[in-house]
């Protein structure tokens, strides 16, 4: 093809057909430009396809992370609910001045348990997205919701639960005023159950622990709802 065009150009010059030569030259330039545009279009399409494969890989990793986070939240929620049931039992028995049941030692044992306040939420997919760049996402709505979940909702949950956990979680010092600390056997035995029933400070601690867990539970439920929303958006995008 190139040899044919070269021969045609030489014939036009030899025959002194300037006007036809100019027309031919223009046509040849147009063909070259079209070829370049086609090559660029193919290259752009190739790059676009490559980006979509990367985007899909990132979204699949995010799906895995969010599904794991929902499972973690469900486990923690169930644990907190179970702990607070025991706390409610303690409050009811003490307020109603009931006699001391043997099972109460196990409810006492759960008093200072936080219920997995500090969940280690999965963020690997989001870190990968940050490293690659948010422009890889084609959906602006999805980008906004992912940013909101990982930059606002998750950090907010962590901050709130850290405050509550720092106040009560893992701090057994107050137990020593009210219970025998048994390292070899489960459960806590009150030093003096009769005194415990009228101890306002003890009841204040118990109620604050219960209220703290309820606050964390509310935050977890909100966190789960927002996680499910983003998960659904990602799954819709993958379809």
Report pLDDT digits (tens) over 205-217. 888 888 888 888 8
Both tokens of 5, joined, read: 């065009």
Length of the chain: 239
The pLDDT value recorded for residue 169 is 54
Alpha carbon separation from 91 to 111, 210, 217 (Å, rounded): 11, 10, 19
Beta-bridged to residue 180, according to DSSP, are 189
209 within a domain of the structure (yes/no): yes
Give the total number of structural domains in the chain: 1
User: If you search the block for the tokens 């850290």, which residue do you land on?
Assistant: 162
Residue 138: pLDDT above 80?
yes
Residue 230: pLDDT above 80?
yes
93 within a domain of the structure (yes/no): yes
Query: What's the pTM value of the predicted model, to 2 decimals?
Result: 0.75
Residue 42: pLDDT above 70?
no
The pLDDT value recorded for residue 231 is 97
The pLDDT value recorded for residue 21 is 47
User: If you search the block for the tokens 């993958």, which residue do you land on?
Assistant: 238
21 within a domain of the structure (yes/no): no
39 within a domain of the structure (yes/no): no
The pLDDT value recorded for residue 107 is 86
In tens, the pLDDT along 68-104 reads: 999 999 988 888 888 889 889 988 888 887 787 888 8
Three-state SS annotation for the chain:
CHHHHHHHHHHHHHCCCHHHHHHHHHHHHHHHHHHHHHHHHHHHHHHHHHHHHHHHHHHHHHHHHHHHHHHHHHHHHHHHHHHHHHHHHHHHHHHCCCCCCCCHHHHHHCCCCCCCCCCCCCCHHHHHHHHHCHHHCCCHHHHHHHHHHHHHHHHHHHHHHHHHHHHCCCCHHHHHHCEECCCCCCCCEECCHHHHHCCHHHHHHHHHHHHHHHHHHHHHHHHHHHHHHHHHHHHHHHC
Cα dihedral 159, 160, 162, 166, rounded to 10, equals 140
Q: At residue 229, what are phi and psi to the nearest 5 degrees?
A: -60, -50
Higher-pLDDT residue of 232, 97:
232
CA distance 173 to 32: 83
The residue range of the domain holding 86 is 51-238
The pLDDT value recorded for residue 8 is 54
73 within a domain of the structure (yes/no): yes
28 within a domain of the structure (yes/no): no
Residue 35: pLDDT above 60?
yes
CA distance 116 to 11: 87
9 within a domain of the structure (yes/no): no
In tens, the pLDDT along 115-127 reads: 556 678 899 999 9
Residue 110: pLDDT above 70?
yes
Higher-pLDDT residue of 65, 11:
65
Higher-pLDDT residue of 135, 167:
135
The pLDDT value recorded for residue 209 is 84
2 within a domain of the structure (yes/no): no
Residue 160: pLDDT above 50?
yes
- The model's confidence at residue 172, banded by pLDDT at 50, 70 and 90, is low
Residue 44: pLDDT above 70?
no
The pLDDT value recorded for residue 106 is 85
């Amino acid at each position: 093809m190139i040899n044919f065009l070269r021969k045609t150009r030489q014939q036009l010059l030899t025959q002194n057909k300037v006007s036809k030569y100019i027309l031919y030259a223009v046509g040849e330039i147009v063909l070259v430009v079209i070829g370049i545009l086609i090559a660029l279009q193919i290259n752009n399409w190739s790059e676009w396809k490559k980006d979509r494969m990367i985007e899909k890989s990132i979204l699949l990793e995010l799906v895995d992370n969010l599904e794991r986070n929902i499972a973690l939240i469900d486990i923690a929620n169930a644990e907190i609910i179970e702990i607070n049931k025991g706390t409610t039992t303690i409050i009811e028995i003490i307020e109603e001045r009931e006699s001391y049941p043997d099972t109460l030692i196990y409810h006492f044992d759960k008093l200072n348990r936080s219920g997995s306040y500090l969940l280690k939420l999965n963020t690997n997919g989001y870190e990968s997205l940050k490293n690659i760049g948010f422009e890889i996402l084609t959906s602006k709505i999805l980008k906004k919701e992912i940013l909101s979940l990982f930059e606002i909702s998750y950090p907010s949950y962590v901050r709130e639960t850290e405050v509550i956990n720092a106040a009560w979680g893992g701090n057994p010092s107050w137990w020593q005023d009210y219970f025998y600390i048994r390292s070899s056997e489960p459960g806590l035995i009150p030093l003096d159950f009769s005194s415990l029933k009228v101890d306002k400070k003890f009841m204040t601690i118990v109620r604050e622990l219960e209220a703290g867990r309820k606050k964390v539970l509310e935050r977890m439920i909100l966190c789960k709802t927002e996680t499910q929303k983003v998960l659904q958006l990602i799954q819709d995008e993958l379809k």
